[in-house]
């Protein structure tokens, strides 16, 4: 179904074959724009139509929610999710991933999922690192609070300069540029300023939707956030993405 479009999902489920199983798959946090899936609406629609809800928490498990359980916990619908998938390469800081759900589902996947059946097991070091990270996520919630506060600050500063950073609340902060060539020029300008970002251009994003993604971490200091803002301001003014001069203050 179309991105975060609950009405479109409902129309598809209404016309789906009622004799077959139905799965609704979504991300909890979308990594390109940093926005969240409309999980409350999706969970309600899935329940009304007898569909199972699968949420990929690759970018939000370990980050959002009172216990770090992801976007579903943050939005109050954790119990409505049938299966969670997640990666260990983001908040957990290592390699690998996991699927969490009912025992019968997990047993079925262990025996039938080709990606699991034909893959080697994780190295012990990666498994141990993921287990240790899980403990840190539970015991040190101040890390999650810090990264979200840093993201709010940086997003507000960039928006105040005139950049379009979308409506997200997460540490994945987009600077929407549109033109792919201009986007790559901005990426290069920022790199020259000492700030590494990710340039996302078609086909990774739709035509006309090229953007720069800035990823904030709990380890970023206030001084580093200021440096990122200053670099974006200097590069944005040189490229004409924001006004050449700061807006005049009015009484």
CA angle 109, 110, 114 (to 5 degrees): 70
DSSP state of 141: T
C-alpha to C-alpha distances, 212 to 181, 187, 200, 207, nearest whole angstrom? 12, 7, 6, 14
Residue 60 maps to a domain: yes
pLDDT the model gives residue 162 = 95
In terms of Cα–Cα distance, which of 43, 131, 45, 47 is closest to 84?
43
pLDDT of 169 higher than 70:
yes
Please tell me the pTM assigned to this model: 0.89
Q: Are strands 210-215 and 198-200 parallel, antiparallel or unpaired?
A: antiparallel
Q: Which domain holds residue 192?
A: 142-239
Q: Mean pLDDT over residues 18-43, rounded? A: 94
Per the structure, how many domains does the chain have? 2
Residue 53, domain member (yes or no): yes
**37 and 9 Cβ atoms separated by less than 8 Å:** no
Q: How confident is the model at residue 248 (pLDDT cuts 50, 70, 90)?
A: low
Residues 6+ apart with CB under 8 A from 106: 99, 100
What's the Rg (C-alpha) of the chain?
A: 20
Residue 225's CATH number: 3.90.1150.10
Q: How far apart are CA 141 and CA 232, in angstroms?
A: 30
28 in the same domain as 73? yes
Q: Is 249 a domain residue?
A: no
| Within-domain flag for 183 | yes
Q: What is the pLDDT of residues 65-99, one digit of tens each?
A: 999 999 999 999 999 999 999 999 999 999 999 99
Same domain? 111 vs 157:
no
For residues 126 and 15, membership in a common domain is answered with: yes
Do 188 and 130 sit in the same domain of this protein? no
Q: In what order do the strands lie in the sheet with 198-200?
A: 172-178, 210-215, 198-200
103 in the same domain as 225? no
Together in a domain, 156 and 209? yes
Residue 17 domain-assigned (yes or no): yes
User: Of 139, 159, 177, which closes a domain?
Assistant: 139
**Confidence check: pLDDT of 159 > 90:** yes
């Amino acid at each position: 179904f179309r991105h975060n479009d609950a009405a479109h999902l409902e129309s598809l489920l209404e016309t789906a074959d009622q004799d077959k199983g139905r799965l609704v798959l979504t991300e909890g946090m979308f990594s390109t724009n940093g926005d969240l899936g409309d999980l409350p609406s999706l969970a309600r629609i899935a329940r009304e139509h007898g569909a199972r809800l699968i949420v990929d928490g690759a970018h939000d498990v370990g980050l959002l929610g009172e216990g770090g359980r992801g976007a579903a916990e943050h939005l109050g619908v954790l119990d409505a999710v049938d299966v969670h998938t997640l990666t260990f390469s983001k908040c957990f800081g290592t390699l690998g991933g996991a699927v969490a759900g009912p025992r019968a589902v997990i047993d079925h996947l262990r025996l039938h999922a080709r990606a699991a059946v034909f893959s080697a097991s994780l190295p012990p070091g990666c498994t141990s690192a993921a287990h240790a990270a899980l403990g840190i996520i539970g015991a040190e919630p101040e890390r999650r609070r810090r990264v979200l506060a840093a993201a709010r600050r940086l997003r507000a500063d960039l928006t105040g300069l005139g950049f379009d950073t979308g409506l997200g609340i997460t540490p994945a902060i987009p600077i929407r540029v549109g033109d792919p060539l201009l986007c790559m020029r901005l990426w290069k300008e920022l790199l020259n300023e000492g700030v590494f970002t990710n340039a996302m251009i078609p086909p990774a994003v739709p035509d006309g939707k090229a953007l720069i993604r800035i990823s904030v971490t709990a380890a970023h200091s206030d001084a580093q956030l200021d440096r990122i803002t200053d670099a974006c301001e200097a590069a944005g003014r040189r490229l004409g993405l924001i006004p050449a001069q700061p807006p005049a203050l009015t009484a």
